Chains A and B, each alone.
Chain A
Amino acid sequence: MPNIISFLIIIVASLTGIKSDYVTNPLLSFGLLIVLAYLFANMMRFFRLPGFLGYILAGLLAGPNGLGFFHEKIPDSMSLIEGLCIMLIVSNAAGLMLKGKSPALFSRYFFSGVLSSLGTMLLTTGFLAPVSIPLQVKIILGLFAATFSPMMTFAYTGHDESHGDFTKTAFGGFICAIILWGILMPILEQPFPGRLKLVFMPAVIGVTSLLTGFVWAFITEKLLYRKSQGMRYFFPLAVMFLIYPCCREIGLDYLFVAIGVGVYYGIISEQSENITLRTELPALIVFCFFGTKLSVIDALLLGNAGWKIVILLTLGILFNRIITLKLSMKLFAAKTGPSLGLIHLIPYGPLSVLLLMRFLPGFSAVPGGEFDKFRVLSICTTSIILTIIIASFIQIFADILKSKEQTNML
């Protein structure tokens, strides 16, 4: 009851603030977003759904496409915080994936993800073949379908050891998608000299950034780390904070730098046991910001998207991902996993949007120019919402089935 009352107070105060134009202060917007996310997460837990879905919902509601507590310019000014939070979660996930596991087992799941991503891309592009949209757009949508989101999978399965392998698979799918985006972007462009060199650019940047992250983690552990209670929590943030602007200056990819740091902590570090990361707050920030980038108007009214393409794409993604994942896991991982568990790999997350936002503007060859790019973005974000909703319903259904089974056993 107190939560409901406080929720109502916050909503009423926020709406009054919006009306009086008070809610333009970034700190106030940020605070309101956090409190709303906390309340929505509690609501989701009440329905036995993961709390991070509440964070996304809060972002969706409060974002520029929702009630507008969060103005379009504010997420830009918060990019430092968002970037740092993403780095923290990614390095933590990478570290946990590699810690104490055999490389052979890791590579099995990784390659099953790679294969699945490749298969999804090809199948989805084929799936969209009868639709009357330009080929480039079909390929972009296919690439989007192939982009797995390890952070979303990690959020779904992070606390459950039995589903930990899905994160590795999603990680493989994500890396494969980056390579595919990078290769296809220059190929789809109008011919220009040195075009083929660009094909290797994402791979080169990725590997360089990964190595830099690895070396950076080693340097900071040797030079900056000190065994103390305060340092235990502060150290990961300090490591990311110092390297983040350097990534921008030198042209490194901060995501891969974070993966490099995580790889070091997972494989080599002697101090990783002494370093603790509380991921709840960074996860809240990342998923809320992810929510603000989605459009509730598109999802409900379909302003820029089109129902036909969105439904086709969503169905294609669901079908193709499940098929390719089952197949690839059988081939590489020799384990299909519980069939409903595969749902953890389906929803898109912050990293999918990050990749989409990064690569989509680069496709200058999209017919129709900026208008079509905007439309493609709307289609993708609407599909993201739909896949999350479908995954949530399947999760609720799975929970009901599980509880019924338990009752029958008793």
Chain B
Amino acid sequence: MTYSVGLLAVILFTFITHKIGQFTGLSARIEILSFYKLHYLASGFVLAWFFPSSFMVIFENNMGIVLLFCLAWIGLFYGCNIEIRTHQKYPLKTFLFHLAEPLIVFIFTALGGILYIYTKYNNIRYIDVVLITAVFSSITLFKRHNIPYREGEVAFHSVINDLLPARNIFAIILLCIAGSLLYSTGEFVLFGQIFTGVFPFFIFHVIAGSGLGIVLSMLMRGASTTDSMIIVLIGMTAVTGGIAFIFSFSPLFLGMISGMFLINSTLKRLQIIEALSISHEFIEKIFMFFLGALLMMLFTSNTVNPGIIFAGATGIVIIRSLLKYFLASLWVTRFNGYHKGTSLLWAGLTGQGIIAAGAVVEYRLRLPHMPSVFLLLIVLLILNQTVTGIYVLKNR
């Protein structure tokens, strides 16, 4: 009976969403949010709402596996977006902007957070939470439209469009290392040997990722059809996720390295990207649905105060948006490289896509006992996406 009520709720929710979608005036206003698959997140959220005790036993049992798989997939997808030869033509000035911009946002957000914590608690006991939130706020994690044909663009500023993959790789490495250092024991046990520190963390990821990339590349050579490529990609993503779980690696980072290796070593680049894109839409939706369900489950647990989380996230979004706007204006007006206006660059810098959602879930997997960090980051992500959507819409 409970399930039937939930089922009716989902149908009603989807029906209403579709009905709203039929009003072109209204749907045009929220269309940009569907790019982030926020409606799937909402759908998972609503479905879980009707099952506060147990949503669906089989579903919940498999939730961790599915999320781990999705993380490895997202990493692989973005890794395949990083072709080294396409990133060699950009001037140093543009590269510097992409390095300096997140650093400035990180410094300001971290300082603000530390000051707030210090004034409130008179000590710095939540410094790790502040640092991770600042890292997360500083970066822009986004994706390209229509990558199979290499004609796609993020519909924002060309600076973002050109260097987005380079930004993403930097951001993922940063997020994974920060997450690992702050929230894991800092130890890797590999075949009986214990390793500690950033260097082994990085090196082992690169070795394991490259190894998986080599196997993937060899398997791809024998795949002739799109379907067989999809099978190989899905199988190897599952292997990547499983290995990441066993050795406490980051599935996002590991997937990204194997994807990067694959795309730079293969002769079937376009076919692989086509196969990836077909499956990616699918997996993205499933991931956002599961994320919505996970979010609701944590909201209903009594340990978290949603009001404080929401207020904190709103504050961070405002500070972050202002900083990004200031830096975007500075870039457009002072460095005078582009003439498309500040707003597009700002919107592009503010947006955080599915890869950022992946990073949030990775923290959740690393930190099962701290749901508040996950909630803060996820609300931050949703607000960033919404703000970008609204701004793009306004400027259309």
Contact = CB atoms under 8 A, between A and B. Distances in A.
The judgment on whether A and B are partners is yes
B278 A224 contact: no
Interface string A198-210: 0000000000000
A219 interface: yes
B215 A9 contact: yes
B4 A281 contact: no
Contacts of B232: 35, 38
B278 A6 contact: no
B235 A38 contact: yes
B110 to A, nearest CB: 35
Contacts of B15: 223-224
A166 interface: no
A280 B231 contact: yes
B190 to A, nearest CB: 10
Interface stretch (B118-126, B156-164, B238-246, B341-349): B238-246
Interface residues of A, number: 47
Nearest to B65: A27
Interface string B35-67: 000000000000000000000101101100100
Contacts of B62: 77-78, 80-81
Interface string A269-311: 0000000001011001000000000000000000000000000
B147 interface: no
B68 to A, nearest CB: 6
Q: Looking at chain B, what size class is its interface with the partner chain?
A: 35 or more
A33 B235 CA distance: 8
B189 to A, nearest CB: 11
Contacts, number: 129
Contacts of A397: none
Contact of B237 (A10, A31, A234, A242): A31
Contacts of A403: none
A7 to B, nearest CB: 9
Interface stretch (B136-144, B195-203, B221-229, B256-264): B221-229
A28 B281 contact: no
B14 A224 contact: yes
Contact of A245 (B3, B61, B242, B281): B3
Contacts of B228: 38, 280
A35 B222 contact: no
Contacts of B69: 27
Contacts of A78: 62
A31 B242 contact: yes
B236 interface: yes
Q: Which of A30, A31, A226 has the most CB of B within 10 A?
A: A31
A20 B191 contact: yes
B21 interface: yes
B33 interface: no
A230 B37 CA distance: 11
A9 B216 CA distance: 11
B230 A27 contact: no
A176 interface: no
Nearest to A30: B238
A2 B224 CA distance: 13
B18 A280 contact: no
Interface string A242-254: 1101100110000
Given A38-B228, A223-B11, A233-B282, A80 B238 contact: no
Given A34-B238, A223-B14, A278-B278, 14 more contacts: A2-B222, A3-B218, A6-B222, A9-B218, A25-B245, A28-B239, A31-B237, A35-B239, A38-B235, A223-B18, A233-B282, A245-B3, A246-B3, A278-B227
Ordered nearest first, which 6 A-B pairs have the shortest CB separation? A28-B242, A31-B238, A34-B235, A31-B239, A2-B218, A3-B222
